[in-house]
Amino acid sequence: MLRDEKTIEREVAEKKETIEAVDKITNTIVKCHKIRVEKRCLDIKKKIQALQAEKQDLINQPIEKQEFLKELKKQVESNRAEILKELTGYLSDYHKQNRIPFRLSDAIFNPADIDKMLYLALTDKDLEDMVSNLPNEGVATKKTLAKIKKIDDEIDGLRNTLEEEMKSIGSSLPSPETEETKPSGSSLSSSKQASDDEDDETEEAYKRYEGTKKHVGGVLQAEETTFK
């Protein structure tokens, strides 16, 4: 039995409303999901910033006194070797010219570099005495490096999570756009064709809806319940 043109047009209009309703739900679900993801991403970024600040505090904290003394002696010895190298060059020039060095009128160093002589005067005993008077605080470098590695690993994990969260609302997200099909012509056959087209588009709309649910996953369950 053939349906009259008005019946078909009414069915077309009803199917069009169904398409629009389904796509509206899909768009709302996607929007809710995006808001939730952006909130989680913001929380992750804050955690990363807090961990980076904690890492910087570890880097800035003093090392144990014995480690500090060891590094201090190494640095002073290195400076002393550089100064003696300069003095050797000074002596070489005087020797070539058959002159006696270290006269009081001789300018061995530039006035700005006169502090270099301090490293020649300092002995290991001087350094030990000075460090012994420092506060008894500081952490072994080995312990600090272990804590820093743990923080770095946690930051890497958070960054990976952040990347995955961002991907879930990126270009891979199924598009809920609606392609409307408007009936044309006044003939019964034209209206019937429009009805068939609307059937296809209704199915496509539900496919987009199902695709969105599959992409977003369990996080959509709460939002989906709202629209039932």
The answer on 75 and 184 residing in a single domain is: no
| Tally of domains in the chain | 2
- Rounded average pLDDT over 137-146: 91
Residues 168, 214 share a domain: yes
Clarify whether residues 155 and 217 are in a common domain.
yes
52 pLDDT band, cuts 50/70/90, is: very high
Tell me: do 153 and 183 sit in the same domain: yes
> What global pTM score does this model have?
0.52
- The parent domain of residue 206 ranges over 1-59+144-228
The alpha carbon torsion through 187, 192, 195, 201 (nearest 10 deg) reads -100
The residue out of 121, 138, 155 marking a domain boundary is: 138
Percent of the chain with pLDDT over 70: 68
pLDDT band at 47 (very low <50, low <70, confident <90, very high): very high
Q: Are residues 155 and 116 in the same domain?
A: no
- The C-alpha atoms of residue 52 and residue 208 are separated, in whole angstroms, by 41
Cβ atoms 73, 129 nearer than 8 A: no
Boundary-marking domain end, from 90, 109, 138:
138
Greater confidence (112 vs 58) lies with: 58
Tokens of 12: 């077309």
Residue 152's pLDDT band, with cuts at 50, 70 and 90, is very high
Q: What's the confidence (pLDDT) of residue 210?
A: 56
The C-alpha atoms of residue 143 and residue 9 are separated, in whole angstroms, by 77
Q: Residue 25 in contact with residue 223, Cβ under 8 Å?
A: no
